[in-house]
Amino acid sequence: MKIYIVADGEGISGVVSSEEMHPTGSRFQEFRRLMTMDVNAAIEGAFDAGASEVVVNDAHWSMINIIYEDLDPRAEIIRGSNKKLSMVEQIEGFDGALFIGLHAKVGHSHGVANETMVGPEMYEMRMNGMPVGEVEINAAIAGYFGVPVIMVSGDDCLGKEATESLGEVETAIVKKSIDRWSARCLSLEKAHQEIHTKAFQAVKRLGDFKPYTIEGPVELEIEWTSTAECKKSSLVPGSYVKSPRIVAYKSNDFLEAWRGIYACLNLGVMAFDPLYG
Protein backbone atom coordinates (compact mmCIF):
# COMPACT_ATOMS: atom_id res chain seq x y z
CA MET A 1 0.00 0.00 0.00
CA LYS A 2 1.29 3.41 -1.01
CA ILE A 3 0.24 6.24 1.32
CA TYR A 4 0.54 9.96 0.59
CA ILE A 5 0.70 12.52 3.39
CA VAL A 6 -0.20 16.17 2.94
CA ALA A 7 1.51 18.10 5.75
CA ASP A 8 0.05 21.54 6.46
CA GLY A 9 0.72 23.77 9.45
CA GLU A 10 -2.32 25.45 10.95
CA GLY A 11 -3.79 22.22 12.32
CA ILE A 12 -0.58 20.97 13.94
CA SER A 13 -0.82 19.92 17.59
CA GLY A 14 -0.61 22.83 20.04
CA VAL A 15 -0.21 25.49 17.37
CA VAL A 16 -2.44 28.59 17.69
CA SER A 17 -0.44 31.67 16.63
CA SER A 18 1.05 33.19 13.49
CA GLU A 19 4.19 33.63 15.59
CA GLU A 20 4.48 29.86 15.30
CA MET A 21 3.14 29.24 11.79
CA HIS A 22 4.98 31.84 9.71
CA PRO A 23 8.71 31.79 8.88
CA THR A 24 9.06 35.32 10.28
CA GLY A 25 7.47 34.36 13.60
CA SER A 26 9.40 34.32 16.85
CA ARG A 27 8.42 30.69 17.56
CA PHE A 28 8.72 29.28 14.05
CA GLN A 29 11.57 26.91 14.91
CA GLU A 30 9.45 25.40 17.67
CA PHE A 31 6.62 25.04 15.15
CA ARG A 32 8.88 23.14 12.76
CA ARG A 33 9.65 20.64 15.50
CA LEU A 34 5.96 20.19 16.35
CA MET A 35 5.02 19.76 12.69
CA THR A 36 7.74 17.14 12.19
CA MET A 37 6.53 15.17 15.21
CA ASP A 38 2.90 15.16 14.04
CA VAL A 39 3.96 13.93 10.61
CA ASN A 40 6.15 11.23 12.14
CA ALA A 41 3.20 10.01 14.22
CA ALA A 42 1.15 9.63 11.02
CA ILE A 43 4.02 7.89 9.21
CA GLU A 44 4.42 5.42 12.07
CA GLY A 45 0.69 4.71 12.12
CA ALA A 46 0.64 4.09 8.38
CA PHE A 47 3.58 1.72 8.43
CA ASP A 48 2.26 -0.10 11.50
CA ALA A 49 -0.96 -0.72 9.56
CA GLY A 50 0.88 -2.29 6.64
CA ALA A 51 1.87 0.57 4.31
CA SER A 52 4.74 -0.35 2.01
CA GLU A 53 5.59 3.21 1.00
CA VAL A 54 4.89 6.65 2.50
CA VAL A 55 5.61 9.97 0.79
CA VAL A 56 5.14 13.28 2.61
CA ASN A 57 4.47 16.56 0.82
CA ASP A 58 5.56 19.54 2.93
CA ALA A 59 2.64 21.81 2.02
CA HIS A 60 2.75 24.78 4.42
CA TRP A 61 3.89 28.30 3.41
CA SER A 62 7.45 27.93 2.02
CA MET A 63 6.98 24.15 1.94
CA ILE A 64 10.38 23.62 3.56
CA ASN A 65 9.15 23.44 7.16
CA ILE A 66 9.62 19.81 8.22
CA ILE A 67 13.00 19.21 9.83
CA TYR A 68 14.53 17.00 7.18
CA GLU A 69 17.01 15.19 9.40
CA ASP A 70 14.30 14.36 11.97
CA LEU A 71 11.79 12.84 9.55
CA ASP A 72 11.08 9.12 9.94
CA PRO A 73 13.73 7.59 7.64
CA ARG A 74 11.25 5.12 6.16
CA ALA A 75 9.39 7.97 4.43
CA GLU A 76 10.33 10.15 1.48
CA ILE A 77 9.52 13.86 1.35
CA ILE A 78 8.61 16.38 -1.34
CA ARG A 79 10.08 19.78 -0.44
CA GLY A 80 9.84 23.20 -2.09
CA SER A 81 7.00 25.41 -3.29
CA ASN A 82 7.21 25.40 -7.11
CA LYS A 83 4.73 22.56 -7.66
CA LYS A 84 1.91 22.45 -10.24
CA LEU A 85 -0.38 20.51 -7.92
CA SER A 86 0.85 22.42 -4.86
CA MET A 87 -0.28 20.55 -1.73
CA VAL A 88 -0.86 17.27 -3.59
CA GLU A 89 2.06 17.23 -6.01
CA GLN A 90 2.75 13.73 -7.45
CA ILE A 91 -0.25 12.17 -5.73
CA GLU A 92 -0.99 10.03 -8.79
CA GLY A 93 -0.66 6.30 -8.16
CA PHE A 94 -1.14 6.31 -4.39
CA ASP A 95 -3.72 4.18 -2.61
CA GLY A 96 -4.80 6.70 0.01
CA ALA A 97 -4.02 10.14 1.41
CA LEU A 98 -3.65 11.41 4.97
CA PHE A 99 -4.18 15.16 5.50
CA ILE A 100 -2.08 16.14 8.52
CA GLY A 101 -2.29 19.56 10.16
CA LEU A 102 -5.04 20.98 7.96
CA HIS A 103 -7.48 23.70 8.95
CA ALA A 104 -10.99 25.01 8.35
CA LYS A 105 -11.81 27.18 5.35
CA VAL A 106 -11.75 30.91 5.76
CA GLY A 107 -14.65 32.67 7.44
CA HIS A 108 -17.13 29.86 8.09
CA SER A 109 -16.14 28.90 11.63
CA HIS A 110 -13.85 29.97 14.45
CA GLY A 111 -11.35 27.32 13.37
CA VAL A 112 -7.75 27.93 14.34
CA ALA A 113 -6.04 30.04 11.66
CA ASN A 114 -8.98 29.50 9.30
CA GLU A 115 -7.89 30.52 5.79
CA THR A 116 -7.93 29.20 2.25
CA MET A 117 -4.70 28.93 0.27
CA VAL A 118 -3.47 32.42 1.17
CA GLY A 119 -3.88 34.94 3.98
CA PRO A 120 -5.59 38.36 3.99
CA GLU A 121 -5.80 38.55 0.19
CA MET A 122 -8.76 36.19 -0.14
CA TYR A 123 -12.29 36.54 1.17
CA GLU A 124 -13.48 33.14 -0.09
CA MET A 125 -12.99 30.38 -2.66
CA ARG A 126 -16.00 28.64 -4.21
CA MET A 127 -16.59 25.54 -6.29
CA ASN A 128 -19.79 25.58 -8.34
CA GLY A 129 -21.03 28.38 -6.12
CA MET A 130 -20.33 26.64 -2.80
CA PRO A 131 -17.62 27.82 -0.38
CA VAL A 132 -14.69 25.40 -0.20
CA GLY A 133 -11.40 25.14 1.63
CA GLU A 134 -8.16 23.31 1.18
CA VAL A 135 -9.73 20.02 2.27
CA GLU A 136 -12.24 19.98 -0.59
CA ILE A 137 -9.89 21.40 -3.23
CA ASN A 138 -7.06 18.99 -2.51
CA ALA A 139 -9.40 16.03 -2.01
CA ALA A 140 -10.89 16.78 -5.42
CA ILE A 141 -7.46 16.86 -7.06
CA ALA A 142 -6.59 13.59 -5.33
CA GLY A 143 -9.95 12.17 -6.42
CA TYR A 144 -9.25 13.16 -10.02
CA PHE A 145 -6.39 10.67 -9.87
CA GLY A 146 -8.47 8.06 -8.05
CA VAL A 147 -6.89 8.62 -4.63
CA PRO A 148 -9.23 8.77 -1.61
CA VAL A 149 -8.60 10.93 1.46
CA ILE A 150 -8.78 8.50 4.35
CA MET A 151 -7.79 10.57 7.39
CA VAL A 152 -7.38 14.18 8.53
CA SER A 153 -5.84 15.79 11.60
CA GLY A 154 -6.42 19.27 12.97
CA ASP A 155 -8.95 21.06 15.14
CA ASP A 156 -12.62 20.23 15.67
CA CYS A 157 -13.78 22.72 13.01
CA LEU A 158 -11.58 21.06 10.43
CA GLY A 159 -12.90 17.65 11.47
CA LYS A 160 -16.50 18.79 11.04
CA GLU A 161 -15.85 20.23 7.58
CA ALA A 162 -13.96 17.12 6.47
CA THR A 163 -16.72 14.71 7.46
CA GLU A 164 -19.40 16.91 5.92
CA SER A 165 -17.58 16.97 2.59
CA LEU A 166 -15.77 13.63 2.47
CA GLY A 167 -17.92 11.34 4.59
CA GLU A 168 -16.68 9.09 7.36
CA VAL A 169 -12.95 9.75 7.09
CA GLU A 170 -10.88 9.10 10.18
CA THR A 171 -10.41 12.36 12.12
CA ALA A 172 -7.68 13.05 14.66
CA ILE A 173 -8.88 16.07 16.65
CA VAL A 174 -5.81 17.44 18.42
CA LYS A 175 -7.34 20.73 19.60
CA LYS A 176 -10.73 22.38 20.04
CA SER A 177 -11.03 25.89 18.69
CA ILE A 178 -11.92 28.78 20.98
CA ASP A 179 -11.15 31.50 18.46
CA ARG A 180 -9.11 31.90 15.29
CA TRP A 181 -6.05 32.39 17.50
CA SER A 182 -6.77 30.21 20.54
CA ALA A 183 -7.69 26.61 21.28
CA ARG A 184 -7.90 23.97 23.99
CA CYS A 185 -5.17 21.52 23.04
CA LEU A 186 -4.49 17.90 23.89
CA SER A 187 -1.14 17.18 25.51
CA LEU A 188 1.50 16.47 22.91
CA GLU A 189 1.66 12.81 23.92
CA LYS A 190 -2.10 12.34 23.59
CA ALA A 191 -2.16 14.27 20.32
CA HIS A 192 0.47 12.00 18.82
CA GLN A 193 -1.36 8.93 20.06
CA GLU A 194 -4.54 10.23 18.38
CA ILE A 195 -2.77 10.87 15.07
CA HIS A 196 -1.06 7.47 15.15
CA THR A 197 -4.29 5.66 16.02
CA LYS A 198 -6.37 7.35 13.34
CA ALA A 199 -3.68 6.92 10.68
CA PHE A 200 -3.43 3.23 11.61
CA GLN A 201 -7.20 2.75 11.49
CA ALA A 202 -7.50 4.60 8.18
CA VAL A 203 -4.88 2.48 6.44
CA LYS A 204 -6.36 -0.70 7.90
CA ARG A 205 -9.77 0.13 6.46
CA LEU A 206 -8.48 1.55 3.20
CA GLY A 207 -11.06 -0.35 1.17
CA ASP A 208 -13.91 1.52 2.86
CA PHE A 209 -13.05 4.86 1.27
CA LYS A 210 -13.93 6.26 -2.14
CA PRO A 211 -12.24 9.11 -3.98
CA TYR A 212 -13.88 12.54 -3.73
CA THR A 213 -14.66 13.30 -7.37
CA ILE A 214 -16.17 16.38 -8.98
CA GLU A 215 -17.86 15.86 -12.33
CA GLY A 216 -17.68 18.66 -14.88
CA PRO A 217 -18.49 21.25 -15.75
CA VAL A 218 -16.85 22.84 -12.72
CA GLU A 219 -16.45 26.52 -11.95
CA LEU A 220 -13.85 27.61 -9.42
CA GLU A 221 -13.88 31.19 -8.25
CA ILE A 222 -11.97 33.45 -5.89
CA GLU A 223 -13.51 36.40 -4.12
CA TRP A 224 -10.61 38.67 -3.29
CA THR A 225 -10.53 41.27 -0.54
CA SER A 226 -9.36 43.85 -3.09
CA THR A 227 -10.40 44.85 -6.60
CA ALA A 228 -6.72 45.18 -7.53
CA GLU A 229 -6.08 41.49 -6.90
CA CYS A 230 -9.11 40.56 -8.99
CA LYS A 231 -8.03 42.70 -11.93
CA LYS A 232 -4.49 41.31 -11.83
CA SER A 233 -5.71 37.71 -11.63
CA SER A 234 -8.03 38.18 -14.60
CA LEU A 235 -4.99 38.41 -16.89
CA VAL A 236 -4.95 34.60 -16.93
CA PRO A 237 -6.26 33.41 -20.32
CA GLY A 238 -9.64 31.70 -19.96
CA SER A 239 -10.50 33.40 -16.67
CA TYR A 240 -13.40 35.83 -16.40
CA VAL A 241 -14.52 38.50 -13.95
CA LYS A 242 -17.90 38.04 -12.24
CA SER A 243 -17.71 41.21 -10.14
CA PRO A 244 -14.98 43.75 -9.27
CA ARG A 245 -13.69 41.33 -6.59
CA ILE A 246 -14.54 37.91 -8.08
CA VAL A 247 -12.55 36.05 -10.74
CA ALA A 248 -13.53 32.60 -12.02
CA TYR A 249 -12.36 29.79 -14.26
CA LYS A 250 -14.62 27.09 -15.70
CA SER A 251 -13.93 23.80 -17.44
CA ASN A 252 -15.49 20.41 -18.09
CA ASP A 253 -12.33 18.93 -16.57
CA PHE A 254 -11.66 19.50 -12.86
CA LEU A 255 -7.88 19.50 -13.18
CA GLU A 256 -7.98 22.10 -15.93
CA ALA A 257 -10.26 24.28 -13.80
CA TRP A 258 -7.84 23.92 -10.88
CA ARG A 259 -4.84 24.88 -12.98
CA GLY A 260 -6.68 27.94 -14.26
CA ILE A 261 -7.79 29.22 -10.87
CA TYR A 262 -4.40 28.37 -9.32
CA ALA A 263 -2.74 30.57 -11.94
CA CYS A 264 -5.24 33.32 -11.05
CA LEU A 265 -4.40 32.87 -7.37
CA ASN A 266 -0.67 33.14 -7.87
CA LEU A 267 -1.00 36.20 -10.08
CA GLY A 268 -3.62 37.97 -7.99
CA VAL A 269 -1.67 37.91 -4.72
CA MET A 270 0.99 40.03 -6.40
CA ALA A 271 -1.41 43.01 -6.35
CA PHE A 272 -1.97 42.88 -2.56
CA ASP A 273 -1.12 46.13 -0.78
CA PRO A 274 0.13 45.71 2.82
CA LEU A 275 -1.64 48.90 3.96
CA TYR A 276 -4.85 48.98 1.93
CA GLY A 277 -5.24 45.29 1.20
Binding residue numbers for Zn(2+): 8, 10, 60, 103, 134
Q: Contact at 8 Å (CB) between 176 and 183?
A: yes
CA distance 162 to 181: 20
Residue 131: asked if its preceding bond is cis (omega within 30°), the reply is no
Closest CA to 141 of 225, 77, 57, 64: 57
CA-to-CA dists, residue 148 to 45, 94, 191, angstroms: 17, 9, 24
Estimate the crossing angle of helix 188-204 against helix 28-48, to 10 degrees.
40
Closest CA to 18 of 60, 59, 80, 63: 60
CA distance 174 to 187: 8
Q: Write out the binding residues.
A: 8, 10, 60, 103, 134
How big is the CA angle at 194 (ends 192 and 200), to the nearest 5 degrees? 100
DSSP-derived secondary structure letter, 99: E
CA distance 227 to 244: 5
Q: Contact at 8 Å (CB) between 223 and 268?
A: no
CA distance 131 to 124: 7
